[in-house]
Amino acid sequence: MTTRPGPQEALDPVKPKHVPAAAGTPDPYFPQSGDHRFRVHRYELALDYRPGPNRLGGSARLSAVANTALAEFALDLADFRIGRVLVDGRTARYTHRGGKLRIRPAKALAAGAAFTAEVHYTGNPRPVRSPWGGLGWEELTEGALVASQPVGAPSWFPCNDRPADKATYQIAVTTPSPFTVVASGRLLTRTTRASSTTWVYEQSAPTSPYLVTVSIGPYRPVPLTERPAVPQTGYVPERLTASFAADFGRQPEMMTYFTEVFGPYPFGEYAVVVADEELDVPVEAQGVATFGTNHLGGGWERERLIAHELAHQWFGNSVTIANWQHIWLNEGFAKYAEWLWSEHAGGPAAATHAAAAHALLARLPQDLCLADPGRKLMFDDRLYQRGGLAVHALRCALGDDAFFQLLKDWTSIHRHGVVATADLVGHASHYSGTSLVPLFDAWLHRPELPPLPG
């Protein structure tokens, strides 16, 4: 990250022409997460973190609008000690249990009313439990990182934890001076007083709570390009800088290629953190990707992960799903981006990768519907592979000219917006002379594996 504004920051956000109805209803996979009765426009977080005792003190100020009349509303927040809660500057009553901070303002909020909520809290942050292990704030040997997908954001700040509730963020983190702080957005200021340093980041693009991140560690910044169209910086332990430079050396080429086929990069900068720990998978966040030491070492498996996480900046971060039922829109396009990069970079063609994925899926149970995989299967590897195949099937049906125009238009029309599967189906219909309903029905709504596309 850099204190210099990147050229993409000059682009005004494009509001989506259509907001799915699903965006204003409880998430079918996580009905207890979030509160659809209001929406947040901005978060201002001020955090003080002490790595040794893993102690976090924070204040969060939310600027929001009531969708309906509210005598009370709820924020998602893990087990912290609450200091005080204010609504529009006045002390509010609250209860806090089961991961829900229920707030009753001194005066009820009218439908359409703008309001602010301020929460002060302290405690020892830890991941929230889930079927996929701990999610959210994770203490490291030296520092911490955040990996919130899908419902881990409440592990470190009070939020309306719904992917469709996108807001801007200012994040100020104070921590001992030997540590570097990397957070979502552009670094505004870095101020050192005595033995502590405060880092202030601004994320001006609308962001889902699960895509907001912080990494704290003894990192060294490693610029990936000298005069980049998009500033790209690695934050890496000193002993790994040479390995990082070798393994991520082609990322600027990926950025150039993806901007050609997906459209302009939607944010001001892109940062890559390599935590000094092994991680199961890289961590996706808006404008930031976090890798583990086990993701260094070269080879296609590492390179495809770099491409996958970069592609999520368009598919998942800028164009965001209305709820978790539609996760294939994130993962299918990111998987296909791996195959496109391979094809572009002189490796196997996308069709070759598609054939391998099809052969793999043919040997596995066929009980997954892409358009509604269910909470249990939403991160199943078959969703990624079949999602990539569905995108390849669309490419084969449309031809390259129409397909790549579809991609650019999709990321432009819905830039910083919210989408559902039906939006893609409707969008794709404008690029074909014949009905695509049979194709989408076979690939998205039926569990049986269709024939190999093409």
Q: Identify the pLDDT of residue 188.
A: 98
Q: Identify the pLDDT of residue 23.
A: 73
**C-beta separation of 339 from 388 below 8 A:** yes
Q: Identify the pLDDT of residue 7.
A: 31
Q: What is the pLDDT of residues 30-67, one digit of tens each?
A: 999 999 999 999 999 999 999 999 999 999 999 999 99
For 40: left if phi > 0, alpha if psi spans -120 to 50, otherwise beta; the answer is beta
- Pull the structure tokens for residue 152: 């881990």
- Pull the structure tokens for residue 314: 């368009």
Q: Which amino acids are annotated as binding site, given as ranges? A: 308, 312, 331
Q: Helices 421-428 and 400-413: crossing angle, nearest 10°? A: 130
Q: Identify the pLDDT of residue 11.
A: 35
d(CA 323, CA 20): 10
- Pull the structure tokens for residue 201: 């980041």
d(CA 301, CA 340): 15
In SS3 terms, the chain reads as CCCCCCHHHHCCCCCCCCCCHHHHCCCCCCCCCCCCCEEEEEEEEEEEEECCCCEEEEEEEEEEEECCCECCEEEECCCCEEEEEEECCEECEEEEECCEEEEECCCCECCCCEEEEEEEEEECCCCECCCCCCEEEEEECCEEEEECCCCCHHHCCCECCCCCCCEEEEEEEEEECCCEEEECCEEEEEEEECCEEEEEEEEEEEECHHHCCEEEECEEEEECCCCCCCCEEEEEEHHHHHHHHHHCCCHHHHHHHHHHHHCCCCCCCEEEEECCCCCCCCEEECCEEEECHHHCCCCHHHHHHHHHHHHCCCECCCEEECCHHHCHHHHHHHHHHHHHHHHHCCCCCHHHHHHHHHHHHHCCCCCCCCCCCCHHHCCCHHHHHHHHHHHHHHHHHHCHHHHHHHHHHHHHHCCCCEECHHHHHHHHHHHCCCCCHHHHHHHHHCCCCCCCCC
Residues of the chain with pLDDT under 70: 1-19, 21, 228
Measured CA distances, 346 to 256, 262, 343, 388 (Å):
16, 19, 6, 19
Q: Identify the pLDDT of residue 13.
A: 39
Q: Which amino acids are annotated as binding site for Zn(2+), given as ranges? A: 308, 312, 331
Q: Which residue segments constitute the domains of the chain, with CATH numbers given?
A: 33-217 (2.60.40.1730), 320-445 (1.10.390.10)
d(CA 162, CA 398): 34
Q: Identify the pLDDT of residue 317.
A: 98
Q: Identify the pLDDT of residue 184.
A: 94
Active site residues per annotation: 309, 384
Q: Identify the pLDDT of residue 18.
A: 61
Side-chain-facing half-sphere of 134: CA atoms under 13 Å:
13
Cis link prior to 150 (omega < 30° from 0)? yes
Q: Identify the pLDDT of residue 25.
A: 85
